[in-house]
Structure 1
Amino acid sequence: MPRLTRRGWAVLVAAVVAYASGVWVGFPVLRALGGAGIGAVAAALAVTARRPRVVVSREVYPDRVQRGRPAFARLRVHNDNQRRHSAFTAGDRVDGGYHSVAVRPLAPGADAVYHYELPTARRGRIQVGPLTLERVDPLGLGRSHLATGDTTTMWVHPRTYPVRALVAGHPRHHHEGRTSDDSPHGTLDLRDVREYVPGDEVRHLHWKAIARTGRLMVRDYVDPNQPRFTALLDTRAALLPPDVFEEAVDLTASLMNAAAEAGYWCRLVTTGGVDLKPRSGQQAVRQVLDELCELTPLTGTAPLVPASLGQAADRGGTLVVVLASAYHEDLAAVATLRPHYASTVVITLAGGTDTGVTIGVPGVQVITAPNARGATRRWNVAVAE
């Protein structure tokens, strides 16, 4: 639906007043000026009423990007008509703003590709679109908008820093007890025979079970010696200013990313109720970063250590706790978990005060740093020692 711009309304009002004045006082010049203005407005509405008859598509690359890293949108325009298409403007609503691209006139069957950068300063799921096509007449009197309904989601992940994986963990062998249902998949010991799902290894097919059930069945293996890595992130808003919260999320993402890529069985726990067990590998990295992408501070009150972290089946390996400040009661709560993990590390972000102070907690290593970058550097030094 075409609409008048502010300039169009101003011209229309002036034209009507001029024409009415010309009729009232009998001046033909005013009537001619008024008629010309009204005609120009009518022509503008007629021009902008024609919708752009082109095929427009937009894709975002990459669809997942670290905070602060570049991301782009690629706009493709194709004129599949037999006539030359006039210029128009294509625009996207991105993270509360609007980005427009001036599309030049296209010859019959011609294509045009445009690129523009997307904002990635804010962590979260950013909606790009809907894509709108806008046509404006040469005088700027009329304008029409056409929404194509094309929207895309861009995941802005936390920033990650290089981190060394900590080699630690208690081996878990099946002869010492029943393997838990959430044990890592993939190697040494047979846990169960289950129905095949897409993505399972074909070499693990259990032919006897297939003959007996008439369905595809596979052997489900576990690796009882696979190292474990658990990260506990404090998300209490009362203790984490917004800037420190973002640093804590970046630090947690860096640690989980390194552990998953090193083959650790990973687990992400927050005081806000998140309890993610994404296994290991690149798929685990993506799950963790997607979860942290949408993580928000906890506005209510909650203990630092959730009850789910105390389940015996999920213990073992390395526990890393990320805090804003090392309060006595929080460290005391972490100390109660110490017997259930091979190593326990507390990392506190001092919110800009680089004190370098190490607080003594029996059996718990405490690292203090001003931000995520500093914490990862001190972590790497501690791991190398």
Structure 2
Amino acid sequence: MRLTGRGISVLVGSIVLYGLGELGGYTFFRALGGIGIGALIAATLLTVRQPHVSVKRGLTPDRVERGRPALATLRVRNEGTRWQPAFAAHDSAGVERQQVRIRRLGPAGEATYRYELPTTRRGRIQVGPLTLERTDPLGLAVNRLATGEVATLWVHPKRHATRTVVAGRPRHHHLGRTADDSLRGSADLRDVRPYVVGDEVRHLHWKATARTGQLMVRDFVDPDQPRLTVLLDTRTEPLPEALFEEGVEVAASILFAASMAGHRCRLITSAGADIAAPGGALASRQFLDELCIVEQKDDRDALLPRSLTTGASSGGAIVVVTGVRGTANDLAPLLVRYSSVTVLGLGPVHGVAPILGARVILAADAAEALQQWSGVIE
């Protein structure tokens, strides 16, 4: 418990008035000073007892697209045998704070409150800790108690409806391993490996299981499985902050559509981030989580990281998300490594301009870029 700024002012004023009253013999000043001190004592008695409650907070959902609603559900239960006076609960979500007025609760009483969380900006937002606060009616004293767990709200980039690319390089396993050894999931048996949670039970290899003493599954690879790589330019010169957010939305939309279609995808940034995942809902969430926290880096980085220009040829399709002022020379190493190269340039210039074997789409924002992309992809 502590005095508020108002309480400290009242304390100082009361001491001064009482002192003037004593020195000058003014009964009125002494009375005013005594009233102030009495109010502070009453405020202390009202706030000295902390709320004896249990608090649980849940987020619904904990991952949300930017601009979509996200709710926090607060459940407050009186764990004591006496009535709990009303108090306030303050919850933080990033730099914003939300106040909830908790009503008076009887013994073992419970109340549920819901409030909306900010989702106007992409990012990973820390929600909490929750602060329980009890004050007196005059606001002279306050008693605060931090409680509850800290939760995380993932505000994903906004996604736009779009088609997905189906380009890929067919390679049969009899010709050797595929360029991406982690491709899994179809007709060609590649290997037998230990079981991990999420594997198909029907793929269990019982002979290998009996021989090794642990569950083993057949590892399949689809030689025709589509592969898509998205390169996001994180340099500030080609993509100023506002356009970078549009670029993140482009990358999120394309990767989400491709992952949900079951395609093997890879996300690379010019700053060096590199994530690959098989298709499906978990893969799409992994990409969206990464794009939720991606930030722009130093302009000294090259557009193409080494992982895209070294090693075996990758095949499949690649989409480069950058600004409109890129040069064809930047893309030259990709033309011999991928069966399909598309550049989405964001900025004031509009149009589609195929050059040197690469398809270049120029658009003002994410919505326009993806509309053009959906109209020209194969």
Band of TM-score, shorter chain: over 0.9
The answer as to whether partners of 1:183 and 1:224 remain within 8 angstroms in 2 is no
Secondary structure class of the residue paired with 1:284: helix
Report the Cα distance in structure 2 between the residues aligned to 1:35 and 1:244, rounded to whole angstroms. 63
Report the Cα distance in structure 1 between the residues aligned to 2:271 and 2:57, rounded to whole angstroms. 36
Provide, for residues 337-366 of structure 1, a one-character-per-residue CA deviation record: whole Å limited to 9, x for no partner: 22322221111001xx2x323334121111
Provide, for residues 77-127 of structure 1, a one-character-per-residue CA deviation record: whole Å limited to 9, x for no partner: 112323221110000122112211111112222221111111112211101
Equivalent position of 1:347 in the other structure: 344
Equivalent position of 1:210 in the other structure: 209
1:377 matched to 2:376? no
Equivalent position of 1:299 in the other structure: 298
Report the Cα distance in structure 2 between the residues aligned to 1:225 and 1:358, rounded to whole angstroms. 29
Equivalent position of 1:106 in the other structure: 105
**1:247 partner amino acid:** E
Report the Cα distance in structure 1 between the residues aligned to 2:353 and 2:91, rounded to whole angstroms. 51
Worse-superposed segment, 64-73 or 171-180: 171-180
Change in Cα spacing, 1:326 to 1:126, as seen in structure 2 (3 Å) is same
Alignment of 1:12-27 (within 5 A): 12-27=11-26
**1:44 partner amino acid:** A
Q: How far has the Cα of 1:314 moved from its partner? A: 6.3
Change in Cα spacing, 1:377 to 1:360, as seen in structure 2 (3 Å) is closer
Equivalent position of 1:259 in the other structure: 258
1:43 matched to 2:42? yes
Q: Taking every aligned residue pair, what percent have the same amino acid on both sides?
A: 51
**1:377 partner amino acid:** Q
Q: How far has the Cα of 1:206 moved from its partner? A: 1.6
1:361 matched to 2:352? no
Report the Cα distance in structure 1 between the residues aligned to 2:224 and 2:311, rounded to whole angstroms. 17
Q: How far has the Cα of 1:312 moved from its partner? A: 4.8
Report the Cα distance in structure 2 between the residues aligned to 1:332 and 1:180, rounded to whole angstroms. 25
Report the Cα distance in structure 2 between the residues aligned to 1:119 and 1:25, rounded to whole angstroms. 57
Secondary structure class of the residue paired with 1:320: strand
Equivalent position of 1:116 in the other structure: 115
Alignment of 1:66-77 (within 5 A): 66-77=65-76
Q: How far has the Cα of 1:149 moved from its partner? A: 4.7
The answer as to whether partners of 2:59 and 2:70 remain within 8 angstroms in 1 is yes
Equivalent position of 1:233 in the other structure: 232
**1:345 partner amino acid:** T
The answer as to whether partners of 2:52 and 2:80 remain within 8 angstroms in 1 is yes
Report the Cα distance in structure 1 between the residues aligned to 2:182 and 2:82, rounded to whole angstroms. 64
Q: How far has the Cα of 1:205 moved from its partner? A: 1.7
Worse-superposed segment, 166-175 or 138-147: 166-175
Q: How far has the Cα of 1:313 moved from its partner? A: 4.7
Equivalent position of 1:178 in the other structure: 177
Change in Cα spacing, 1:7 to 1:93, as seen in structure 2 (3 Å) is same
Equivalent position of 1:309 in the other structure: 308
Secondary structure class of the residue paired with 1:143: strand
The answer as to whether partners of 1:183 and 1:223 remain within 8 angstroms in 2 is no
Report the Cα distance in structure 1 between the residues aligned to 2:181 and 2:164, rounded to whole angstroms. 22
**1:108 partner amino acid:** P
The answer as to whether partners of 1:335 and 1:361 remain within 8 angstroms in 2 is no
Q: How far has the Cα of 1:181 moved from its partner? A: 6.0
**2:329 partner amino acid:** A
Q: How far has the Cα of 1:226 moved from its partner? A: 0.6
**1:335 partner amino acid:** A
Change in Cα spacing, 1:304 to 1:251, as seen in structure 2 (3 Å) is same
Q: Which segments of 5 or more consecutive residues in structure 2 lack a partner in the other structure?
A: none
**2:32 partner amino acid:** L
Q: How far has the Cα of 1:234 moved from its partner? A: 1.0
Provide, for residues 189-246 of structure 1, a one-character-per-residue CA deviation record: whole Å limited to 9, x for no partner: 2222222222222222222122222222222111111111111111111221100100
Equivalent position of 1:92 in the other structure: 91
Report the Cα distance in structure 2 between the residues aligned to 1:130 and 1:175, rounded to whole angstroms. 57
Change in Cα spacing, 1:356 to 1:272, as seen in structure 2 (3 Å) is same
The answer as to whether partners of 2:313 and 2:337 remain within 8 angstroms in 1 is no
Q: Which segments of 5 or more consecutive residues in structure 1 lack a partner in the other structure?
A: none
Report the Cα distance in structure 1 between the residues aligned to 2:138 and 2:321, rounded to whole angstroms. 59
The answer as to whether partners of 1:260 and 1:266 remain within 8 angstroms in 2 is yes
TM-score normalized with structure 1 length:
0.93
Worse-superposed segment, 174-183 or 261-270: 174-183
Secondary structure class of the residue paired with 1:43: helix
Secondary structure class of the residue paired with 2:138: coil
Q: How far has the Cα of 1:28 moved from its partner? A: 3.5
Q: How far has the Cα of 1:270 moved from its partner? A: 1.1
Report the Cα distance in structure 1 between the residues aligned to 2:253 and 2:188, rounded to whole angstroms. 31
The answer as to whether partners of 1:335 and 1:364 remain within 8 angstroms in 2 is no
Report the Cα distance in structure 2 between the residues aligned to 1:249 and 1:276, rounded to whole angstroms. 15
TM-score normalized with structure 2 length:
0.95
Report the Cα distance in structure 1 between the residues aligned to 2:312 and 2:187, rounded to whole angstroms. 19
Q: How far has the Cα of 1:332 moved from its partner? A: 2.1
Report the Cα distance in structure 1 between the residues aligned to 2:129 and 2:243, rounded to whole angstroms. 33
Q: How far has the Cα of 1:306 moved from its partner? A: 1.4
Secondary structure class of the residue paired with 1:198: coil
What is the alpha-carbon root mean square deviation over aligned residues? Answer: 1.7
Worse-superposed segment, 107-116 or 355-364: 355-364
The answer as to whether partners of 2:238 and 2:325 remain within 8 angstroms in 1 is no
